[in-house]
Structures are given as structure tokens and as C-alpha cells.
Amino acid sequence: MYAVDVYRILRRDYNRPGASTGIGHKLSVMALLDNFKCDKIYMNAGMDMYSMNKYSDEYERFSERIRNKFSRFVLDNQMSLRPKPDTKVINFSEWKNTMLSKDLSLMGADSPHSFMFDGEYKFLDG
């Protein structure tokens, strides 16, 4: 589904009562988000307006938004986030065990797990 098809669905659905709850509307929004993630269209900062053209600096493609907001990550060929070499990575099992533990010293500033709670973005591995 391309932007022209999405436009036709939106135009058709907005001329009926209850348009924002119809299946056509839901499918068109899903198609818009899919086109955005594939870097085919631009979206504004409020995530409610889409465009084939960049009208202002507020409009960004998916890759631009990720690069601006999450500078410690990169996009791979499938447009999935991956950590850069200098990005801190948290092992999921280690994080889970730390969070479920009743030993509060594991979360202290001098513990080996203190980097988990320093307020910076981290990549959680599977």
C-alpha cells in the first residue's frame, strides 16, 4: 500500500460518520506507519501529519528521527535498532535477576550493577 492508496482510504472514510473507528481508517494508519518506518514518507513531531515532501524541519523520516533522538543507536538493513560499539548493553537475565532480588546492595552505587541505573540510554539484549 502506498501513500496514494492511503490518501484515498482516508478521504473516503472521513466522509462517513464514525470514520476514525472504521477498519479502513485503522488500516490506513497502519500503512502510514509502515511507510514511515520504511523511510518512504515524512512525519511531523506530533506524529499526526504525514507527507511525501519535507515541508519544514519538523518533518522527518524514520532514520532521521532515530539518528536525532537516539544517537547511541544505529539502524541495520532491516530498520531495527542496534547498539553502537560504545553503547552500554544490559543482559536481560542479569537485569531481571537484579530487579527480582531482595538484596538492595545490588542496586547501590558501589555495586557491579550500578551502571543499569545511571540514567543513560542502554540497549537491552534478548
* pTM of the predicted protein model: 0.60
pLDDT reported for residue 61: 92
Query: Does residue 80 sit within a domain?
Result: no
Per-residue model confidence as pLDDT tens digits over 57-104? 889 999 999 888 888 888 888 888 888 888 888 888 888 888 888 887
- Rounded distance between C-alpha atoms, residue 42 and residue 28, angstroms: 15
Query: Does residue 82 sit within a domain?
Result: no
Domain count, the chain: 2
Smallest CA-to-CA distance from 28 within 61, 50, 53 is with 50
Residue written as grid cell 482516508 = 10
Which residue range(s) make up the domain with 45?
A: 3-71
Per-residue model confidence as pLDDT tens digits over 5-14? 555 555 555 5
Same domain assignment for residues 14 and 65: yes
- For residue 42, the tally of other CB atoms under 10 A from its CB is 22
82 is written with which cell numbers?
Answer: 542496534
pLDDT for residue 38 is more than 60:
yes
Q: How many CA atoms lie within 13 A of 91 on its CB side?
A: 5
Query: Does residue 81 sit within a domain?
Result: no
45 with 61: CB under 8 angstroms? no
